[in-house]
Amino acid sequence: MSETWIRRLNAFQLLLVIALILLPIVWMVVSSFKPSAQVTAYPPTLIFTPVLDNYRQLFSTTPFGSYLVNSIVITVGSTLLGLLFGVPGAFATSWSRVNWPATVTLAARMAPGALFLLPWYIMFRTFGMIGSYSAMILAHAVITMPVIIWVMLPYFDNVPRSVLESAQVDGCHVPEILWRIALPMVLPGLVVSSILAFVFSWNYFLFALILTNQSTKTLIAASFNFIGEGATYWGALMAAATIIAIPPIILAFVVQRWLVSGLVMGAVKG
Amino acid sequence: MRPQMTVERQLALLCSPAVLFTIVMIAFPVGYSVWLSFQAFSLGGGSTFNGGENYVRMVEDPEFWNGLRVTFVLYAISLVAQLAIGTYLAILLNASKRMVGFLRSALLSPFVMPPVVVGMMWIVILDPAIGVANYVLQSLGLPPSEWLASPRWVIATVALVDTWQWSPFVALIVLGGLQSLPGSVYEAAEVDGVSRWAVFRYITLPLLAPTLLTAAILRSVDLLRFFDIIYITTGGGPGNASNTLNIYGFRVGFEFFEIGYACALMVTLSTIVLGAVLLITKGRNMIDW
């Protein structure tokens, strides 16, 4: 076979696989714009006039707006908490080379969620915190903080030690060195780790099932309940799915160069 | 002048919120779970030590063994499929000159989508009566499938969905590995007129082994704890056909409120995950050159 043919065959296979990967997503988005009678039509229809009925139904028949607010509060809250704890933690870990706290956080990545959720449930129940934003923010910070620590570590490792030491000779306290000198040098890492933490927290499924109530329910938990309500609302179901998928997909494109290393976190050193 | 704290002290202070949080929210709960797994615990009723009774019950519980079997069958099918398809896709990408940026972005979409979205999407696509998947099968002259509703096929279907979602992730990891391989080896092989298959089998694959094992570690952690997609699509059913250990443990805890027994199941599952990770890591370190 000639080189050209091999290259064509290669391109053909690649397009085929990419199509298989993208088609289900396209089908979801397309279905969300179908008139509701056509969503459940069989054989499935491809030609239709796109309408926003499903989206309207979603917002008018469910408190979708307030679920959205809950999701944003919990995701942003847990990302900020993760940064507040994780960034100084990563800085101190990188400087002192004492790694065990970072290693312990990997337990959160490895153990099944219910291993934490069972004791948390008892803890939060004791303090009357089930259904509160704070319980959910604390729980999701268990997702965000390790991501932030592990993504920030190499950035802090790259700050030249001489810079830190000369600041120290000038009489700066360590927190000052972090705030005034190190942080401005690791801004890209800060952006990447915040975005990754946001995506992971936004997507996380399990904790919201148990720790939220009707007034703090997230989009993820609410959508899970929609599924139980049956096939009649497929259009609205696909509209909800599309809306929930948009923020992580957009953010993933923004940080795509770092996304895989963020997910690999710790596994290489481990 | 105030006496200055030593640098070590200041660093420890900076680290303390993270450490405290880790202790309270991660380390303590793990310890508490282990402790609870040796208790007969009832909400509001307090708890009493019951020795290894929860573990004895587990060994005698057919649902536990079913969960273990489902977990490992699903794990084996999915891991092999994802490593194979991921490597295949990475090799295609590595050989492609055009549109690499676009293709890479397209690959991200499945695994950055929330599991709930993936579940909803496939429920609609795989519906046995009106889903588009069966329409495609029938158009190709193939018999329709019950997919997630079939006790016989549900594990394979879940593996299919997970493979759709995570093969692209494996592909991106392997692509990173491929791009860091030394070009000189390939030039030498080309001069010697070695066949493409031989190059892949005897050069690329051995050199990629550490990368593949890293991908295997990451996928093992997720696959052995398989929960989200199953809980969303089948809830462990039909019957108990997709009742993985993680699903079973969760239901024992939060549907039957047998916290002590649920903790025993979760501690067992965590041990399995940890064991698999240590085993694969050891394998990787042995061949890492």
Average pLDDT over residues B6-27: 90
pLDDT one-digit tens code per residue, B152-201: 999 999 999 999 999 999 999 999 888 888 877 777 777 777 888 888 88
User: Chain B within 8 Å of A42 (Cβ-Cβ)?
Assistant: yes
Give yes or no for residue B267 having a pLDDT over 70.
Answer: yes
Strand pairing partners for B42? B46
Check whether A270 has a pLDDT greater than 50: no
**Probe site for chain B from A115, A122, A205, A238 (most B CB atoms < 10 A):** A115
Q: Which of these ranges, A140-144, A181-185, B103-107, B225-229, has the smallest mean pLDDT? A: B103-107
Q: Which of A42, A175, A210 sits opposite B254 (nearest CB)?
A: A210
A19-33, A250-264, B10-24: least confidently modelled range: A250-264
List chain A domain ranges: 63-222+245-264
Contact B227 A112 (CB under 8 A): yes
* Dist. CA B197–CA A53, nearest whole Å: 53
Please, are residues A82 and A262 in contact by the beta-carbon 8 Å criterion? no
Average confidence score pLDDT of chain B: 89
Q: pLDDT tens-digit profile of B102-111?
A: 888 888 899 9
Is the pLDDT reported for residue B205 higher than 70? yes
Domains and CATH numbers, chain B: 53-287 (1.10.3720.10)
Q: Which of A239-243, B124-128, B188-192 has the lowest mean pLDDT?
A: B188-192
In a mutagenesis test of the A interface, which of B4, B26, B137, B263 is the best target, namely the one with the most A β-carbons within 10 Å? B26
Please tell me the predicted confidence (pLDDT) of residue A100: 82
Q: How far is CA A137 from the centre of its chain?
A: 13
**What is the sign, positive or negative, of the torsion defined by CA atoms of A118, B123, B62, B278?**
negative
The upper half-sphere exposure of residue A202, i.e. CA atoms within 13 Å in the direction of its Cβ, equals 24
Q: How confident is the model at residue B1 (pLDDT cuts 50, 70, 90)?
A: very low
Interval A236-259 mean pLDDT: 90
- pLDDT exceeds 80 at position B137: yes
- Architecture of the structural domain at A63-222+245-264: Orthogonal Bundle (1.10)
As a whole number of angstroms, the longest Cα–Cα distance in chain A is 75
Whole-number Å distance between alpha carbons of A107 and B185: 39
ipTM of the complex model: 0.89
Q: Report, as an integer, the average pLDDT of A177-190.
A: 91
CA of A17: how far to CAs of A125, B29, B76, B93, B167, in Å?
48, 43, 22, 11, 11
pLDDT level of residue B4 (50, 70, 90 thresholds): low
Binned at pLDDT 50, 70 and 90, residue A266 comes out as low
pLDDT of residue B243: 94
Confidence of residue A264 (pLDDT cuts 50, 70, 90): confident
The answer to whether A101 contacts B15, with C-beta atoms less than 8 Å apart, is yes
Chain segment B37-71, per-residue pLDDT in tens:
998 887 777 778 888 899 999 999 999 999 999 99
